[in-house]
Structure 1
């Protein structure tokens, strides 16, 4: 015969009896949440052999994590005191693929057997290269930099492996790399491209390779363009003279002149950071 506590064991506050006293101690018992609980037990195997040290995880039907345990030397596991209801259970271990979850229904005061099978990861021994791309001046991470990965073999040209953009933290990641020698090349508009130092990758190796990019003064420039039109007719004015002024200390200085195209468009390029103004007119020769 087995027993279960329908309520959590209640207790009173400490009290003293010093003589002929009539003490009253009422208790309000709380229902035991585990009174209607059950257990999950089973074995984790792979290829018919037990897997020790696997993590067994239980989720509710909404994928909220509930409990976990580790399989023993014979692959067996037990998770106790799960309230009756529907759950999902799965197992994983480093070097194995994560399987889909197995649905299970826990019954009150019963043990449910759930045997789990996991498969070896064929890429478990492959490696990764990761790092951060930063601004060489500020050392702040550079978002959306382009990182190219190349493998190298002595006496042969580099082989392109893949490309990855950096995230908001300047991070990139290349995975499932075989043993060998590599390097990464980082670039972004406004910066001079740069290659990393040689990267030697071993078996199941995770190698850090950061790269700092230097701003390119020639490419770190802007442009200004637009259309010159007649205010009266709204039509574009071809061959209008457009002057670009640099403004410093309130003083305007002409630094470039151009003329509009047949569509009235103008364009100034290679502008360094600064303050500017554009002025335009149309000049006709007077005979």
Structure 2
């Protein structure tokens, strides 16, 4: 059953059987009231709906440089693009660019569930360098403080696993990307496995410096001899850089 209120706010629903109903009221695409168990008795029922007072949300966009899981002075990120998204519809309600203190604020919001998305671009290539997405629930007549911690956007890395001796593909090779022991390294451990047809692999890696290793055992069906192939190398990824599309893993045959 659907009804729209008139210019005085009056609405009317008819021909309802006595029962328990769920009632939802929306205004301009926003849900302003919900009753999951509205009991209607026989004859006329009156149920008034009050529009909630608006909400606000504000906070600081920051990068947790010391990794202590909280905002500290000096971690503010300016020029972050902050979007406020209404969770029920996915619509962008408002957007803002943070100032030199990383501050953002959105005013006069209908209470409800929202998502705050924040990004900072690499100004050289236009790619996203930092990003974050946080859910918030706004209550009526309140100003919520929500600081948002940015993460480093992963860099896509791809290539093929091959024999170093002749470039022939090697399949089902597991590659390990381990953070190198360097100061302030932001790398995070990850693995990738090349496919069974071409030896192609792809992985998303946080910026940083990596030690890369891989090994695989290959058995010759005719001779039943097993040969081990290994790889060790390094990879350095900068914040917001372009994808690395040809990082081939050339494995060397182990002698003996």
How would you bin the TM-score normalised by the shorter chain? 0.3 to 0.5
Q: Normalized against structure 2, the TM-score is what?
A: 0.40
Greater relative contact order structure (CA < 8 Å, 6+ sep): 2
